[in-house]
Amino acid sequence: MSSEQGHHTSLDDAIEHVVRDMMHVDPRPGLRLRVQHRMSQLPRRRSWVGLGALASAALVVLMFVLTTDRGSELQPGSPQQATVESSPTPGGNPPGSETPKRKPEGVPASPVETARTAEPTPESIFGPRDQKVRGASTASSAARQPLTSLRLDVTVADDRKGVSTAPQAVSLVTADRQRGRVLASAAHAVLQVDAQPEILSDGRIRVHMTVSYQAVQQAGETSQPASLEKRITAIVDEGKTLNVLQSTDPASGRTVTVEIKATLLK
Amino acid sequence: MAESTTRVIAPEPLEVTDLDLVRLAQAGDTDAFGELVERNRRAVFRAALAAVGSATEADDVVQDAFVTAWRKIGGFRGESQFRTWLLSITWRKAIDRRKTISRWLKLSASSARDEAGDDMFDVIERVPSAAESQAAKYESAELQKDVRRLIGTLPRKLRDALLLAGTGEHTYEEMGEMLQTPVGTVKWRVAEARRVLKRKLTAMGYGDE
């Protein structure tokens, strides 16, 4: 950066130096792997071309079904009985709509009338409407699972030699298989937790989580502040605390411990 | 008998452009995208760092940005440079993150904010200085500390421009794309940021000889 005014001063130098110090930082090694790991966790990408082909195929099948259905309705000798008559629409027909006229029993339909009554209706294609609705309702309620929320308590203890700091704890509530994130900043550290719990069939809970812990250098402290970022997948028993990570710096004897507890919220 | 000399001419390595890699990535090649990550990691990381001020946060933003780019790469039509497109995604992600952090910090009273700027720059983490300068004029740790603190108090628009310019990774055109601002305005902001800093430093007793 050069001075915009053309008059370069020692203060310009100082500013330039500090800015360079702040910004000439490189990402931690392994960024590519971290990104690719996250990419692998994404749901499989869908190709729009594939989706288009699928939609076209579905349309062709539907057209085929409609055409075949109409063809069979117009077959001589097999006049389609208007399904509308056997399953009247609840609430009647909307005003202005054509109501098929009921033919007295025993009176044969003329070919023209047969053709008219043979027009496909939703009921002629999909069956009686009320039955269909009941079926759909049953299916959807069977597929629907009750949503469960969980609370995750994450505690990070940072024990330095001769210095005891209060453990930093965060809690986050998220639904089963949903991602939650929490950031907590205190005077001595910043803690960020990104977690996705999943209730397993045996009642235990699988937790995918990323813990970032960055201690802030305290006045008079000579050693580098503790910094930790870890991706963890652990299976925990509901309501029980599990020590998922312990990191010790052999030089300073500093130990950082991470504990998690997952609780189902009824 | 005359000796024959065989000269082996090494073939020039084929240069694979970003656009080549993008096309491969659009076909689902994760390794090609990995190469794009490798090529752009520093520029993307420093852009995020300029916005959020913390290496830890920046790392997370960068991962989000790359994953988003991967998800959206099918829609990249090559009308701009891939790197510019990627930096724009990164900057938006970083600003979102900054807003989240700022909101959080507003909720939690922190005594460390008293003399800091209007967001997390002086609260969360100071980016550690890699090496102390030996140069005489600005050896003073006190001056550097004050400059760093004053940068944190700059209005965001000025600070963003100043720090992006200081990364050594971004052209003014790229900065203009990221900040959605004309290049001339970006240049003015960088210069203005420096003027403001110098004015404050002078008022604090740091004079220029």
pLDDT of the residue at B167:
92
pLDDT of the residue at B35:
92
Q: Which region among A54-63, A85-94, A172-181, B40-49 has the lowest average model confidence (pLDDT)? A: A85-94
CA A238, A242, A243 angle in degrees (round to 5)? 165
Place of tokens 């220029």: B208
Distance CA A168, CA A202 (A): 31
Nearest to A23 among B60, B104, B166 (CB): B166
Structure tokens at A17: 């130096």
Distance CA A7, CA B144 (A): 20
Distance CA B82, CA B66 (A): 12
Cβ-Cβ contacts under 8 Å, B137 against chain A: 10, 13-14
> Rounded to a whole number, what is the distance in Å from the CA of A209 to chain B's nearest CA?
13
Starting at the edge strand found earlier in the chain, the sheet holding A180-185 runs A180-185, A189-199, A205-215, A227-236
CA A16, A20, A25 angle in degrees (round to 5)? 170
Among residues B190, B147, B169, the alpha carbon closest in space to that of B58 is found at B169
Q: What residues does A241 pair with on adjacent strands?
A: A261
pLDDT of the residue at B154:
93
CA A44, A50, A56 angle in degrees (round to 5)? 140
Q: What percent of chain A has pLDDT over 90?
A: 6
Contact A42 B209 (CB under 8 A): no
SS (H, E, C) chain A: CCCCCCCCCHHHHHHHHHHHHHHCCCCCCCHHHHHHHHHHCCCCCCCHHHHHHHHHHHHHHHHHHHHHHHHHHCCCCCCCCCHHHHCCCCCCCCCCCCCCCCCCCCCCCCHHHHHHHCCCCHHHHHCCHHHHHHHHHHHHHHHCCCCCEEEEEEEEEEEECCEECCCEEEEEEEECCCCEEEEEECCCEEEEEEEEEEECCCCCEEEEEEEEEEECCCCCCCCCCCEEEEEEEEEECCCCEEEEEEEEECCCCEEEEEEEEEEEEC
Q: Binning pLDDT at 50, 70 and 90, where does residue A49 land?
A: low
Nearest to A11 among B38, B165, B208 (CB): B208
Query: Which tens digit of pLDDT belongs to each residue from B46-84?
Result: 999 999 988 988 999 999 999 999 999 999 988 889 999
Q: What residues does A164 pair with on adjacent strands?
A: A159
Looking at chain B, which residue has its C-alpha nearest residue A3? B191
Q: Which 3 state secondary structure label does DSSP give B6?
A: coil
Contact B138 A25 (CB under 8 A): no
DSSP structure class, residue B169:
S
**CA B203 from centroid of its chain's CA atoms:** 30
Nearest to B147 among A14, A32, A212 (CB): A14
Cβ-Cβ contacts under 8 Å, B74 against chain A: 45, 48
Structure tokens at A56: 């076209």
Cβ-Cβ contacts under 8 Å, B30 against chain A: 36, 39-40
- Give whichever of A51-55, A109-113, A189-193, B20-24 has the largest mean pLDDT: B20-24
Give exposure, A209-232, as e/b (b: 16+ Cβ within 10 Å): bbbbbbbbeeeeeeeebbbbeeee
Contact B56 A192 (CB under 8 A): yes
**CA B134 from centroid of its chain's CA atoms:** 26
Nearest to A36 among B34, B60, B168 (CB): B34
Choice between B132 and B160, residue whose per-residue pLDDT is larger: B160
Q: What is the pTM of this model?
A: 0.49
Torsion angles phi and psi, residue A190, rounded to 5: -120, 130
Choice between A111 and B96, residue whose per-residue pLDDT is larger: B96
> Rounded to a whole number, what is the distance in Å from the CA of A98 to chain B's nearest CA?
48
Looking at chain B, which residue has its C-alpha nearest residue A4? B191
Cβ-Cβ contacts under 8 Å, A48 against chain B: 74
Q: What percent of chain B has pLDDT over 70?
A: 75
Cβ-Cβ contacts under 8 Å, A183 against chain B: 100-101, 104
pLDDT of the residue at A136:
41
ipTM of the complex: 0.77
Q: Which 3 state secondary structure label does DSSP give B114?
A: coil
N residues, chain A: 266
pLDDT of the residue at A142:
40
pLDDT of the residue at B130:
44
Q: Binning pLDDT at 50, 70 and 90, where does residue B151 land?
A: very high
Looking at chain B, which residue has its C-alpha nearest residue A20? B166
Average pLDDT over residues B111-126: 42
Q: Which region among A28-37, A190-199, A245-254, B107-116 has the lowest average model confidence (pLDDT)? A: B107-116
DSSP structure class, residue B116:
S
CB B147 within 8 Å of CB A14: yes
Nearest to B56 among A15, A21, A214 (CB): A214
CB within 8 A of B121, min separation 6: which ones? B53, B151, B152, B159
pLDDT of the residue at A102:
44
Average pLDDT, chain B: 81
Q: What residues does A210 pair with on adjacent strands?
A: A194, A231
Q: Which 3 state secondary structure label does DSSP give B4?
A: coil
